[in-house]
Amino acid sequence: MLVPDKKPLYELALNKMEELIKTGVWKEGMKLPSEASLSKEFGISRATLREAMRIMEDEGLIAKQQGVGTFVRRKPIIRSGLEELFSVTALIKRQGMKPGTKDFTFYKLPALENEAEKLKLNPGDEIYKVERVRTADDIPVVYCVDRLPRKIVGDKFSGFEESVFAFLEKEYNIKITYAVSSIKVVKHDFTIEKKLNIGKNGSVLLLEQIHYDENNMPILFSSNYFNADKFDFYIIRKRD
């Protein structure tokens, strides 16, 4: 039960629940007890409890899932503006974390119709398809699928350690200057969920980009699947 104080009861409940999260008693991803249990524990009405929880939801501390329950929200570990063209490696380093790569594979195969269209290739032209999971301090955060035309990287292509941007500049003197991007929500893809080590209630954001060089030639078509619990993307919008 909450200790009597001059503060409103909902504020006392709010402070108590914030402290439970801060001290790790309520851990990230944990499902909260029922409203009935919490109101009884705190000695307050459900209406008072709901007001405190509404504020916590507005603050991004908890998240309600319809028909499932209320959970302690997993804090994003990486923030970036979508108006900025970034490599995943640079983005992770900028947050003070160590970038890594696991499950690296690549194939040489004919481009699919949509891949050929995006890279301005003829149907059947060969591409290298590179798949890998990027980690931040050993935590899987992004599943990357990159497609590079064989005519650009040649037959001796054997992959790259971290940034594809740095690889293209170093090995081929190709500088990516801009990209055309789209972002989508991916639901219930078992393969991606397994690679990113997230549960069925997790969320995945797909950022698809066609990358161009300074001559407006498409060089790279990428599909990056971000663990939405580990990223916080934002857009700065300005008014003329």
Alpha helices in the chain (DSSP H): 9-22, 35-42, 46-58, 88-94, 113-118, 150-153, 164-172, 190-195
Mean pLDDT of the chain: 89
Q: How much is the average pLDDT of 213-220?
A: 96
Cα distances from 206 to residues 30, 105, 109, 214, 237, in angstroms, run 25, 20, 23, 25, 21
The structure's pTM equals 0.70
Is the per-residue pLDDT at 117 higher than 60?
Answer: yes
Share of the chain above pLDDT 90, in %: 57
pLDDT of residue 66: 83
**Band (76; pLDDT cuts 50, 70, 90):** low
Q: d(Cα 226, Cα 206) in Å, to the nearest integer?
A: 6
pLDDT: is 188 or 102 the higher one? 102
